C-alpha cells in the first residue's frame, strides 16, 4: 500500500501555527486537524524562525555558503574532467 502525501496551503499552515502560538498545544492541534505532531512542530519552528515554510529560507548564512561552495567544487571537477579528456584526445593526434 502506498501512502498518499497531503499538500497543505501556506494559509492552512499559518492557521495551524497561529493556533499553536496562541496557546494550544501541538498535540491538541495535531489531533484536531489529523496532522502528525512532528509536522505541526516543523511548521511552527520554521515559521517562527523565518516567517516561511520553505527549507531554503530557513538556512543560515554558513549553510548557504557551504551549498554554494559545493556547487562550485562540482563545477570545477567537471571542467577538470573535460580538460583531461581534451588533453587525451590532443595527445593521440
**Any domain includes 1:** no
Question: What does the pLDDT average to over 26-52?
Answer: 86
Whether the per-residue pLDDT at 2 is higher than 70: the answer is: no
List, for residues 46-69, the tens digit of each pLDDT value.
887 776 666 666 667 788 899 899
CA dist 47 and 12 (Å) reads 12
Are 64 and 54 part of one and the same domain? Answer: no
Residue 23, domain member (yes or no)? yes
Write out the H or E segment, with its range, that includes residue 49. helix 37-50
Grid cell, residue 42, equals 516543523
Same domain for 70 and 48: no
User: How many angstroms separate the CA atoms of 14 and 11, rounded?
Assistant: 5
Whether residue 64 sits in one domain with residue 54 = no
Q: Do residues 43 and 77 both lie within one domain?
A: no
- 53 and 76 in a single domain? The answer is no
Q: Domains in the chain: how many in total?
A: 2
pTM for the structure as a whole: 0.53
Is the domain of 71 the same as that of 45? Answer: no
Amino acid at each position: 500500500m502506498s501512502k498518499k502525501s497531503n499538500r497543505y496551503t501556506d494559509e492552512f499552515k499559518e492557521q495551524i501555527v497561529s493556533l499553536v502560538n496562541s496557546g494550544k498545544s501541538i498535540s491538541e492541534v495535531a489531533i484536531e486537524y489529523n496532522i502528525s505532531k512532528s509536522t505541526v512542530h516543523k511548521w511552527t519552528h520554521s515559521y517562527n524562525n523565518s516567517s516561511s515554510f520553505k527549507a531554503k529560507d530557513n538556512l543560515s548564512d554558513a549553510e548557504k555558503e557551504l551549498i554554494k561552495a559545493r556547487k562550485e567544487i562540482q563545477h570545477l571537477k567537471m571542467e577538470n574532467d573535460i580538460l583531461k579528456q581534451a588533453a587525451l584526445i590532443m595527445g593521440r593526434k
